[in-house]
Amino acid sequence: MKAESVQMLSSASLFASAFLVPLILKDALNVDEAGIGLVIAAYSTAFLLSSWLFGRLADVRGRKRVLQAGLLACTIVSALQFFATSVELLVAARIAMGFAAGTFPSALMAYAYESKGRVGRYASFGALGWGVGTLLAGFFAVYSLFAPFLVSAVLFGIAFGVSLALPFPKQTLLKVPRIPIAVIKRNAASYVAVLLRHTGANMVWVIYPIFLATINPDPMWIGIVYAVNAGTQFALMPLLDRFDGKKLLAVGLALSALAFIVFAVSDSEWMVIGGQVILGSSWSCAYVGSLKSILEKGSERSTSSGLLDSTLNLSAIIGSMIGGFVALSFGDCATMYVAAVMSLVALGVFLTMLNGKASA
């Protein structure tokens, strides 16, 4: 349970830190939607580069040192965000946070997989952490929009302490090229599908707290909405370990399209909550499916996982930049319709690439 505890605590920390950044930028610092998208893109760029670099380093130099150093760095940077009370300082703090946050997840994922092999169970604790983090952020944001940054630092500090007690077996260090072409080719179908689907999703996330505030502006309500998604994932993910990864990913892509359409037509709290249940189910299938697909092939598991994290953050860069401009030009709901279309395109591309590989 120690690896799952670190996963839960670190996930809670990241979401507590990121949850209200769009509202801070808009309400406290007077940044428009396009600017919000650029700030989120800067964070994701730093996360992408860090995931790529440290995923490989965990295979080459050892997972223990990468994991523990990363968690310690996150503790320090999370606390510094509390003092970022201008646009310039917050941008700098979010870039630093993105780089720190990308250091440890791939090492932790590979450690958990090789210890127990239950991807769904491990991933579900990330969803639990998301729910806990957003609820805590919503609660403390009532007192100050910057308070969740301190919550994040405390949670990361606890995660670092737990990581010191993890039993690390002797690891066989690997020789992995700086640009792991073989790993990328092996997992290309999963990476491309996730990139397309999650680009659309991030078009929505960049404006989602603002969209929710138009239905009910209470920060606690916004936290509850996110917690419904996380709770769905926590309940469903452990049940998915028995299924084929490729089939799970395909189902997740189809359900994602449905979820974004439900959001686009939502005009009440209950419709939004229903959409969150569908979305939580879709991401459970897509994420567990993609993890199973990449971790079950090859020994460079930290590298493969780091590349998946990099893919997710590349989608966040593209999606947040496009999403901010789409919302500014055509309205918030336009991002949701585009996200639905991109999920369907991702499904088509994924199935086509699999069929092409099977016939090759």
Per-residue exposure over 302-321, b if at least 16 CB sit within 10 Å of its own CB, e if not: bbbbbbbbbbbbbbbbbbbb
pLDDT of residue 29: 86
Residues 6 or more apart from 260 whose CB is under 8 A from it?
A: 200, 201, 204, 279, 336, 337, 339, 340, 343
Domains and CATH numbers, the chain: 2-165+177-359 (1.20.1250.20)
pLDDT of residue 106: 92
pTM (two decimals): 0.86
CA distance 323 to 103: 27
pLDDT of residue 360: 55
State which amino acid sits at residue 276. Q
Q: Pinpoint the alpha helices (H) of 187-244.
A: 188-205, 208-215, 219-236
pLDDT of residue 175: 84
Q: Which of 227, 202, 154 is nearest to 44 (CA)?
A: 202
| Ordered per-residue pLDDT tens for the chain, 360 residues | 688 999 999 999 998 888 788 888 888 888 887 788 788 888 989 999 999 999 999 988 888 999 999 999 999 999 999 998 888 999 999 999 999 999 999 999 988 888 876 889 999 999 899 878 878 888 888 888 899 999 999 999 999 999 999 888 787 777 888 888 899 999 999 999 999 999 999 999 878 888 888 888 777 777 788 778 888 999 999 999 989 999 999 999 999 999 999 999 988 888 999 999 999 999 999 999 999 999 888 778 889 999 999 999 899 888 877 887 888 888 888 999 999 999 999 999 999 998 876 655
CA distance 76 to 154: 10
pLDDT of residue 283: 96
pLDDT of residue 40: 82
CA distance 206 to 203: 6
Neighbours of 215 (CB within 10 A): 15
